[in-house]
């Protein structure tokens, strides 16, 4: 059974800092790895999707990497801003299904 873990559960940084959020998964037979953002009281918004054959994906100040062999993904946020404050969730899509298995998220606070 796939298990997805995110460490740390919460992170507080000053504005302008570069930061890394970590995600690990136990079963490497994934189809892809996705990163979502969730604002308080809102639904999830897809940020980046990395296919199993890819090593990384970039969107603006965000860069996500995937290392299937070690069961790890990282989300790198450059030059953080207060507007980046949110909970970030990673999720693994199992091969042969359309089902996502989610981590519990990292709550990020960027202080002005």
Partner 1 sequence: DAEITQSPRHKITETGRQVTLACHQTWNHNNMFWYRQDLGHGLRLIHYSYGVQDTNKGEVSDGYSVSRSNTEDLPLTLESAASSQTSVYFCASSEWGTDTQYFGPGTRLTVL
Q: Does residue 21 bind partner 1 (CB under 8 A)?
A: no
Residue 40 Cβ vs partner 1, minimum distance, rounded to whole Å: 11
Give the per-residue contact string, 25-44, with partner 1 (x = CB under 8 A; - = no). ------xx-x-x----xxxx
Site for partner 1 (CB under 8 A): which residue of 12, 45, 109, 111? 45
Site for partner 1 (CB under 8 A): which residue of 77, 86, 100, 110? 100
Q: Which of these, 60, 3, 54, 6, lies nearest to 31 by C-alpha position?
A: 54
CA dihedral for 27, 30, 35, 41, sign (positive or negative) = negative
Rounded to 5 degrees, φ, ψ at 61 are -85, 0
């Amino acid at each position: 059974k796939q298990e997805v873990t995110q460490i740390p559960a919460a992170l507080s940084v000053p504005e302008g800092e570069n930061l890394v959020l970590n995600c690990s998964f136990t079963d490497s037979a994934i189809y892809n790895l996705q990163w979502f953002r969730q604002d308080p009281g809102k639904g999830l918004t897809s940020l980046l999707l990395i296919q199993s054959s890819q090593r990384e994906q970039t969107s603006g100040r965000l860069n996500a990497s995937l290392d299937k062999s070690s069961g790890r993904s990282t989300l790198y946020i450059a030059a953080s801003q207060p507007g980046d404050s949110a909970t970030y969730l990673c999720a693994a899509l199992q091969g042969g299904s359309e089902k996502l298995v989610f981590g519990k998220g990292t709550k990020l606070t960027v202080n002005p």
